């Protein structure tokens, strides 16, 4: 093959790979974010964990499992739990005027709360949010070890918080003590990192760049402050 043809072939392959990365970040025009608050020490949680695993296979849903630590006292310390996830769940409860938290609990787009593994209720909430077109479009791309976050608002949307979420696509845990003693539990999209990238006034273009370490998928959420609704989200696997 002549050198010039090899050169242009290489250029085309690079362009196609970059395009594929960009498309992967935008799968689902308006993906719905489903947060499951769960615990390895909760005997009622496995059905909800399985439902989240099914949702994780959909391109129109961003499914996230956040493990809380308030069940650790009953005999099994959840290996995925973080105090920050418990704090996030309590923040949702406070915003909704609720006095307590529980597992399993599902929060859809930061707004609708579903108790347990009620799949029909969850699917209804997902469809309702899919019918509501967001005024914010967010795009993700990866280059030179960094994640580029870009967003635009069709109209001013007010102050927003921009979060970066990383997760493990799958994991299995052998539980030795507590309510699930003797069981091996399978999990999907286990959140390992949840960090605030910054705040956006919501009245002009957003552009952020952050160093991205490791191969775990990345999710960016744009959410109203104080545990308000999630107005836009994108994932990069």
Q: Residues 145-195: pLDDT tens digits?
A: 899 999 999 999 999 999 999 999 999 999 999 999 999 999 999 999 999
CA 177/CA 110 separation, integer angstroms: 32
**Band of the pLDDT at 135, cuts 50, 70, 90?**
very high
DSSP assignment of 201-223 equals -SSS-EEEEEE--SSS-EEEEEE
- Average pLDDT along the chain: 90
- Percent of the chain at pLDDT above 90? 85
Would the pTM count as exceeding 0.85? yes
Label the pairing between strands 32-38 and 61-67. Answer: parallel
| Average pLDDT value for residue range 98-122 | 96
Q: What is the pLDDT at residue 30?
A: 80
**Cross-strand bridge partners of residue 96:** none
Q: What is the pLDDT at residue 237?
A: 87
Q: What is the pLDDT at residue 144?
A: 86
N residues, the chain:
237
Judged against a pLDDT cut of 50, whether residue 25 lies above it is answered with no
**Cross-strand bridge partners of residue 169:** none
Chain centroid to CA 224: 15
Judged against a pLDDT cut of 60, whether residue 16 lies above it is answered with no
Q: Which CATH class is domain 26-236?
A: alpha beta
Q: What is the pLDDT at residue 21?
A: 40
What is the edge-to-edge ordering of all strands in the sheet holding 230-236? 112-115, 105-108, 32-38, 61-67, 184-200, 160-174, 218-223, 230-236
Judged against a pLDDT cut of 60, whether residue 23 lies above it is answered with no
Q: What is the pLDDT at residue 148?
A: 97
- Percent of the chain at pLDDT above 70? 88
Helix H or strand E segment including 22: helix 3-25
pLDDT tens per residue, range 30-50? 899 999 999 999 999 999 999
Q: What is the pLDDT at residue 143?
A: 87
Chain centroid to CA 123: 17
Q: What is the pLDDT at residue 47?
A: 98
Judged against a pLDDT cut of 90, whether residue 20 lies above it is answered with no
**Band of the pLDDT at 86, cuts 50, 70, 90?**
very high
């Amino acid at each position: 093959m002549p050198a010039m043809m090899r050169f242009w072939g290489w250029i085309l392959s690079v362009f196609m790979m970059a395009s594929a990365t960009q498309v992967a970040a935008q799968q689902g025009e308006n993906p719905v974010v489903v947060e499951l608050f769960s615990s390895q020490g909760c005997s009622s949680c496995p059905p909800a964990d399985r439902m989240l695993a099914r949702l994780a296979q959909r391109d129109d849903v961003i499914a996230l499992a956040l493990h809380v630590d308030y069940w650790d006292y009953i005999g099994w310390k959840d290996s995925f739990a973080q105090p920050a996830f418990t704090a996030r769940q309590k923040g949702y409860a406070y915003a909704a005027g609720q006095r307590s938290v529980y597992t399993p609990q599902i929060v859809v787009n930061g707004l609708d709360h579903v108790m347990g593994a009620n799949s029909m209720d969850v699917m209804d909430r997902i469809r309702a949010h899919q019918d509501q077109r967001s005024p914010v479009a967010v795009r993700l791309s990866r280059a030179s070890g960094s994640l580029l976050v870009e967003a635009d608002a069709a109209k001013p949307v007010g102050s927003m918080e921009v979060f970066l979420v990383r997760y493990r696509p799958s994991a299995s845990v052998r539980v030795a003590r507590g309510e699930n003693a003797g069981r091996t539990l399978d999990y999907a999209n286990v959140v390992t990192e949840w960090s605030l990238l910054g705040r956006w006034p919501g009245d002009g273009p957003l552009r952020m760049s952050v160093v991205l370490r490791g191969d775990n998928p990345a999710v960016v959420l744009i959410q109203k402050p104080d545990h308000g609704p999630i107005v836009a989200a994108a994932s990069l696997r």
